[in-house]
A and B are shown apart, each in its own frame.
Chain A
């Protein structure tokens, strides 16, 4: 059986759902508590409802953009895993590369993934999300204190470290595409090009909503555009 057949088993949807459900339940409980708390403090109910309404509207665009990412990822890890990973902790920029990294670690190309390898990848992807969470579980109540000690007031340092790490990772995966020319090379160039165009458009036209679509659109144009070469 091809690994994707395992990946798309109906039961895979069933076992991928609980974590999504828990995210939903967590949010609903927090929503109820925060709403009650806000009312108790004295905030106006109408105004709180406006907050909720605007949050709903603001969420639609980015959610659809993430949805497109799910479709793109489905071919790699099947519907259930793609849906689960992008619904909860983990975003396209992590999960997509994670599949590649995991396969690499196993000494396989993306085309050589066996059902057993896929199972290992599922474990690896599961593990990849939990460390953020363990961090939060143990240390979140202390973040305030730690922040002051570590950065000594220079908060920008942390975000700078994050930025440089991400650039390093992406560079590592981009460079091979320029050392050996293939359709992947064109996918990279087109992806980058569309991103540049859309980002400039977003800035020039001052339309913030374009921002969330930059990644999915760049991905789509890049992946299909590569076929032209």
Chain B
């Protein structure tokens, strides 16, 4: 689809970037409103030390992803899509399908400027719909929890184990060798009984590095056998 009317992409792009930066910047501050409210309204200021302690395991766990994920999804999401998706979240399960579908319907090529514009239409729509539905669930959820018989309350202790088991199984489908490698490394480190922060590093880095090395070797072997 050619640019029939000499549309000014340069200008459009600039608008995309400035709006994206503005909204993301604002959202960074808004993320802390609940915490600020608890401190100001109820005297619950935990102090920097406690916050650090609570936050460090999280950095150790996901820090690498914070660096790598945005650029990894960029080829698929496009520039506008990047700004939309990293505010609204839920990229793999929701934004991607909507982006791809819209581009298919319009018959545009992914990665082009037209693709970006069409993808934006798909993505933004999904944000609006998603947020409306989640408001409903937010309100309904509280009601559901109130009516739940107390004997079932204990089930919520097992939300996380269930999620971890499910996610591990799901990823194992994509690469079962990697899953086994990760589990073995985790087992070894866990048996070694080191401190929590160190433990995360000791599990994540070796897994990633060994995986990359094995992957490279696998590819090299495949190539030489051709």
Contacts and interface: CB of A to CB of B under 8 A. Distances in A.
Contacts of B63: 131
A45 B32 CA distance: 40
Given A105-B56, A141-B79, A171-B168, A164 B212 contact: yes
Query: Looking at A47, A121, A124, which has the most chain B CB atoms within 10 Å of its CB?
Result: A124
Query: Looking at A88, A118, A157, which has the most chain B CB atoms within 10 Å of its CB?
Result: A88
A41 B70 CA distance: 28
Looking at chain B, what size class is its interface with the partner chain? 35 or more
B44 A23 contact: no
Interface string B1-14: 10111010000100
A136 B70 contact: yes
B217 interface: no
A133 B69 CA distance: 11
Query: Looking at B31, B53, B162, which has the most chain A CB atoms within 10 Å of its CB?
Result: B162
A169 B61 contact: yes
B222 interface: no
Interface in B185-226: 185-187, 189-191, 196-197, 199-200, 203-204, 207-208, 211-212, 215
Given A34-B120, A126-B31, A158-B68, 19 more contacts: A22-B23, A22-B87, A26-B88, A30-B120, A34-B121, A40-B5, A48-B106, A51-B106, A67-B137, A79-B141, A106-B54, A110-B157, A116-B46, A120-B46, A123-B35, A137-B20, A137-B21, A165-B65, A222-B161
A161 B17 CA distance: 27
Interface string B76-103: 0001101110111110011001100110
Main secondary structure of the interface of B (DSSP, over half): helix
B53 A120 contact: yes
A121 B51 CA distance: 7
Contacts of A188: 161-162, 164-165
Interface of B: 1, 3-5, 7, 12, 15-17, 19-21, 23-28, 30-39, 41-42, 44-46, 50-51, 53-58, 61-72, 74-75, 79-80, 82-84, 86-90, 93-94, 97-98, 101-102, 105-106, 114, 117-118, 120-131, 133-138, 141-142, 144-145, 152-171, 173-175, 178-179, 181-183, 185-187, 189-191, 196-197, 199-200, 203-204, 207-208, 211-212, 215
A223 B156 contact: yes
A110 B138 CA distance: 22
Cβ-closest 9 pairs across A and B: A222-B162, A67-B137, A191-B165, A218-B166, A188-B165, A191-B162, A171-B186, A187-B158, A31-B124
Given A27-B127, A38-B118, A70 B65 contact: no
A43 B144 contact: no
Contact of B125 (A19, A31, A102, A115): A31
A105 B54 contact: yes
Given A58-B101, A105-B55, A161 B208 contact: yes
B162 A223 contact: yes
B163 A63 contact: no
Given A79-B142, A188-B164, A223 B158 contact: yes
Contacts of A135: 66-67, 70-71
